[in-house]
Amino acid sequence: MASNESLSLPFTPSDRLANEDLLPVAERRWGTYSFFALWMSDIHSLGGYVFAAGLFFLGLAGWQILLAMLAGILIVNQLLNGVGVMGQKTGVPYPVLARLSFGVFGANIPALIRAAVGIVWYGVQTWLASLSLVILVEAVWPGASAALPGQWLGLTALGWICFMSMWLLQLVLFWRGMEWVRRFIDFCGPAVYLVMFALAAWMLSQAGWGAFTLRLSDRVLSTADTVYEMLGVVALVVAYFAALLLNFADFSRFGVSEQAVRRGNFWGLPINFMLFALVTVIVTASTLVVFGEAILDPIEVVHRIENKPVLILGSLTFVIATIGINIVANFVSAAYDIANVAPRHITFARGGLITALLSIAVLPWQLYHNPVVINLFVGGLGACLGPLFGVIMVDYYWTRRRQVVIADLYSEDPAGRYWYQGGVNLRAVAAFVPAASLACMVVLWPGAGHLEAYGWLIGTLAAAAIYALIMPREPA
């Protein structure tokens, strides 16, 4: 399967650096709505719901939370526009863009780091989606768990059936190619909205409008603490999008125009994110009255509603929502990144299959229930995403002045602009390593406290500053 139709190229790419999927695309079909829907799929998820609801428990006033969230998402919007322009202008995916700064072979460093994060979270999200499927099966067939006894590697028989069903469903969708991915996310983002609005309306009808509040915590903060928490919200919002900040070019390369990317980002990020946050807090605030406690997990909210049709519809919705974010945030990137390691042998489709198989091998439910392991592994790798972003962005906008020689991205010629030393830019590595080490210390150090929210920002700024200092700037 080829994920795109490549351009008729005026150069001959090395087969160690190119295949049909990694070459610049010719056919671009993603318009404003597709990018809007992409962000709906990314935000309208279990993780997005819990993240947005959790911010309202920090002790801030409602307007302070919303202001900080708006500031954070506006920053994300600007950064993603910057990444989006890179992808739309060049037509190449993230691991190929990384060759500008890290070298044609050195780009495997940022590619494999991003792939590792994607693989683990792909497995975790697939398992979380399977939990909704378990609830759905038990609602339709109450004796399902009893009829399917046994446990293997920490997962029940029913759990395995639901997990593998979700695993196979996503693989089939992905195998159809990026055009099918686009069509799926065009559908699932709005579909989740309809159910979320319906859930919010039902919860308010049960709790009454008097239950609605934007402040879900009894904490009283000083002025200094208020400012600190607001800045923390801004940092957390930016960090939430850290993965897609790095590889948004995987999608923007299919954009019909730069304006389509920008408009889709505007509607999908500031507008959509803030509206989803309001719907989330309405449901969460209502649970305090309806169930006597704040419930941040929407699956649990749906599960407590004693109405089988509602339970079935809600479970199906969150299955769809999780598939949407999983493909957008984890699967596509890992497939491109793995293909970049050996393009001669690994296509986009094969990279996706490898991603799917590895997502089972990591036993994601075991990782999820071991906070030490998941914090060290995923937290440490996640901290590296900021420094990678800093190097790549400074290289494109400052060092290169937005000028890219596409042919040299696929060339093993030592005279090529992105060959550096044996295909690796040691200056990029020299900027990345100390910045990533600093970011990991901030995120993983037990005494860091709330500073871990700033790990992505600290790593990004450190890498950007070092790279700007040691990498010669090209003449205008």
What is the residue range of 158's domain? Answer: 34-470
Residue 334 lies in a domain: yes
Residue 476 lies in a domain: no
d(CA 247, CA 259): 19
Give the per-residue pLDDT at 255: 96
Give the per-residue pLDDT at 7: 52
Strand partners for 30: 255
Residue 1 lies in a domain: no
Residue 7 lies in a domain: no
Residue 376 lies in a domain: yes
Residue 26 lies in a domain: no
The dihedral through the CA atoms of 13, 175, 80, 126 has a sign that is negative
333 in Cβ contact with 243 (< 8 Å) = yes
Give the per-residue pLDDT at 434: 97
Q: How many domains does the chain have?
A: 1
What single DSSP character describes residue 30? B
d(CA 329, CA 115): 11
Give the per-residue pLDDT at 377: 67
Q: What is the CATH number of the domain that holds 323?
A: 1.10.4160.10
Give the per-residue pLDDT at 4: 43
d(CA 115, CA 363): 17
Give the per-residue pLDDT at 42: 86
Q: Residue 2, SS3?
A: coil
CA distances from 209 to 53, 202, 283, 285, 323 (A): 18, 11, 11, 10, 33
Residue 171 lies in a domain: yes
What single DSSP character describes residue 324? H
- Tens digit of pLDDT at every position of the chain (476 positions): 444 444 567 788 999 999 999 999 988 989 999 999 999 888 887 778 888 888 888 888 888 889 999 999 999 999 999 999 999 999 999 999 999 999 999 999 999 999 998 998 899 889 988 888 888 888 788 887 777 887 888 899 999 999 999 999 888 888 777 788 888 888 877 888 888 888 888 888 888 877 677 777 777 788 888 898 899 889 889 988 988 999 999 999 999 999 999 999 999 999 999 999 888 888 888 888 888 888 888 878 877 877 777 777 777 887 888 888 888 888 999 999 999 999 999 999 999 999 999 999 999 898 887 766 666 666 677 789 999 999 999 999 999 999 999 999 999 999 999 999 999 999 999 999 999 999 988 887 866 666 777 889 999 999 999 999 999 998 87
Residue 4 lies in a domain: no
Query: How is 81-148 classified by DSSP, letter by letter?
Result: HHHHHHHHHH---HHHHHHHHH-TTTTHHHHHHHHHHHHHHHHHHHHHHHHHHHHHHHHHSTTHHHHS
Give the per-residue pLDDT at 1: 41
